Amino acid sequence: MRRSFRGITALLSVIGLMLGASAPALAYEPVNIVHTERVQVGPYGMTVGFSTWPLKAMQSLDFTFAPDGGIADKSGRLAMLYGQDNRQRRSQPLARHPRKREVWGLDVLSMPQQGDWTFRFTIDGPAGPAVGELKGLKVLEQPGPPLGLSWAISTLPLFGLVALIVVAWRRTRKPVPAPA
């Protein structure tokens, strides 16, 4: 009887550890796509999804890129271009979205500045390599106060802490005896 009790306790402990270790993975909310755009990349149709719409500068969001027929037999690359002269800001291979594994995607990315953006896709699949673009993607002004003001306000508690430490240090120093 005592031996079976130990076995049951050990089994319940192992199950508890397994469930406890998997709990953080369940804590992430699913990707909620609120707006989509269709892009034709050569012979490949693709749906681009956005977790926030309209896009605003410096606001974190998720992007999903779902080619027709799935991503299993394809590889891709994304170039993010900015402005009228299409200055390249970022270029990277398309990888699976960390929380929506059946599509390519970018997790918690923010657009660095407002203006017109272009996403240039390069896909290599069974029908060969192809290039396509999502043009005229408008990114609006950053929400909230300017970034410099936000940083200045957020450092005020740090200055207060430094002042508190200096005052406390000066009050607790041992007095220096006067020379005789």
Helices (H) and strands (E) in the chain, counts: 2, 9
Domain extent listing, the chain: 35-140
The predicted pLDDT at position 131 comes to 96
Beta strands 128-140 and 55-56: pairing type?
parallel
Separation of alpha carbons 142 and 56, rounded Å = 6
What separation in angstroms does the CA of 55 have from each of 61, 69, 84, 134, 147?
A: 9, 27, 18, 14, 17
Question: What is the separation of C-alpha 144 from the centre of its chain, rounded to a whole number of angstroms?
Answer: 20
The residue behind tokens 């992430």 is 28
The predicted pLDDT at position 6 comes to 76
Per-residue pLDDT of the chain (180 residues; tens, 9 = 90+): 556 677 777 777 777 766 666 555 555 567 788 999 999 999 999 999 999 999 998 888 999 999 999 999 999 999 999 987 777 777 899 999 988 889 999 988 888 889 999 999 999 999 999 999 999 999 999 888 887 888 888 899 999 999 999 999 988 877 777 776
The predicted pLDDT at position 91 comes to 85
Judge contact between 41 and 130, C-beta under 8 A: yes
The predicted pLDDT at position 60 comes to 87
Separation of alpha carbons 29 and 109, rounded Å = 16
Q: Which residues contact 177 (CB under 8 A, 6 or more apart)?
A: none
The predicted pLDDT at position 159 comes to 92
Cβ burial of 114 (10 Å; 0-12, 13-18, 19+) is middle
Judge contact between 15 and 9, C-beta under 8 A: no
DSSP-assigned beta bridge partners for residue 134: 119
The predicted pLDDT at position 119 comes to 94
What is the architecture of the domain spanning 35-140?
Answer: Sandwich (2.60)
